[in-house]
Amino acid sequence: MTAGDPADQPRLLGRGSERILRACMTAIRPRGSGFDQPVDDDVLLGVDRYLSSLPPLLRVGMPLGMRLLEYGPPLFAKPRRWTTFSRLPREEQLAYFSGWLHAGGLRGNLALGLRTVIYLVFYQHPEVLASLGVDWEGRARDLVQERAALLAQRAQAGPASGRRGDDA
């Protein structure tokens, strides 16, 4: 995934939503423990692509909910803050987001949804997987070839070794 590829440009979120989503990522992205890769732009694109495959109700509701998160600090921050979420310092953003996450109801569900998608995309980024020592993609390539070889061997062995349940 590269940020410059037009096919990977955000498809659902406008500039305002993108700013809010970036603030969410800044607040909650994994930090330390070897997870400081500069992948935020890629994660943003991945989240946007994923959000665009949500059902229509959520495609409409998610950007609206993000506006509520952005303009909510005067109402929901503890203590109240007369600014927007994306302008809060990072530690306050984290505390504010955490408050939403534990608020339950629609606010809790929205925060949980954003957290879920951000972490899903973040931890599947190739650089993050590499830092965990996980090479799922490389293993998949090897095993697809291994199975192709197994099937080729079976085909050479003749029809007697064919699979069950196939009436072709």
Partner 1 sequence: MLDGGGRALALPAIPYPNVERGSAVRRDSVYAADVIVVGTGAGGATTAAALAAMGHDVLMVEEGDLHRTESFTTDPPTMLGRLYRDAGTSLIFGTPPILFAEGKCVGGSTVINGGMCWRTPDFVLDRWDREHRIPDVSPRAMQPWFEAAERILHVESNDERTWGRHSRSFADGAAKLGWPTRVNPRNMDRCVGLNNCALGCPTGAKQSMLVTEVPRALRHGARLLAQARVEKILFSGSRAIGVRGHLVGDNDRPTYRFEARAPLVVLAAGARHTPGLMMRSRLRSAALGRNLRTHPNAKVVGVFDEPLDPWIGAHQTHQIHHFLEDGILMACAAVPPGILAMGTPGLAAEHAARMRRYNHLMTAATLVEDTGEGRVRLGPDRQPVMSFRLSSQDVETIHRGVALTAQVLFSAGARSVWLPFAHLPEIHSVDELAKIETLLRKPGKIELMTVHIMGSARMSRDGGDGVVDPSGLVHGVTGLAVADASLFPSSIGVNPQETIVALALRNAERIAATLTRPKALRAQAASSVPAAERVPATASGVGR
Q: Which stretch binds partner 1 (CB under 8 A): 15-23, 64-72, 74-82, 136-144?
A: 136-144
User: Is residue 127 within the footprint of partner 1 (CB under 8 A)?
Assistant: no
Measure CA 147 to chain center. Answer: 31
Shortest Å distance, C-beta 162 to partner 1: 10
Between helices 40-51 and 56-71, what is the axis angle to 10°?
130
User: Is residue 37 within the footprint of partner 1 (CB under 8 A)?
Assistant: no
Shortest Å distance, C-beta 21 to partner 1: 14
Q: Which stretch binds partner 1 (CB under 8 A): 13-21, 64-72, 73-81, 143-151?
A: 143-151
Taking residues 7 to 26 in sequence order and writing x for each that binds partner 1 by CB under 8 A, - otherwise, the string is --------------------
Residue type, 106: L
State the residue for tokens 């090479």.
Answer: 135
Q: For partner 1, give the closer residue by CB, 3 or 58.
A: 58
Interface pick for partner 1 out of 133, 156, 158, 160 (rule CB under 8 A): 133
d(CA 52, CA 30): 24
Is residue 41 within 8 Å of 121, Cβ to Cβ?
A: no
Q: For partner 1, give the closer residue by CB, 8 or 19.
A: 8
- SS3 label, residue 86: helix
Calculate the CA dihedral of residues 9, 15, 20, 23 and round it to 10 degrees.
Answer: 60
Is residue 108 within 8 Å of 102, Cβ to Cβ?
A: yes
- For residue 137, give the nearest of 147, 148, 124 by alpha carbon: 124
Interface pick for partner 1 out of 85, 124, 130, 157 (rule CB under 8 A): 124
User: Is residue 76 within the footprint of partner 1 (CB under 8 A)?
Assistant: no
End-to-end C-alpha distance for the chain, whole angstroms: 41
Q: What is the largest CA-CA distance in the chain?
A: 76
Q: Which stretch binds partner 1 (CB under 8 A): 15-23, 31-39, 63-71, 77-85?
A: 31-39
Q: Which residues bind partner 1 (CB under 8 A)?
A: 27-35, 46-47, 49-50, 52-55, 57-58, 94, 97-98, 101, 113, 115-117, 119-124, 128-129, 132-134, 136-137, 139-141, 143-148, 150-152, 154, 163-168
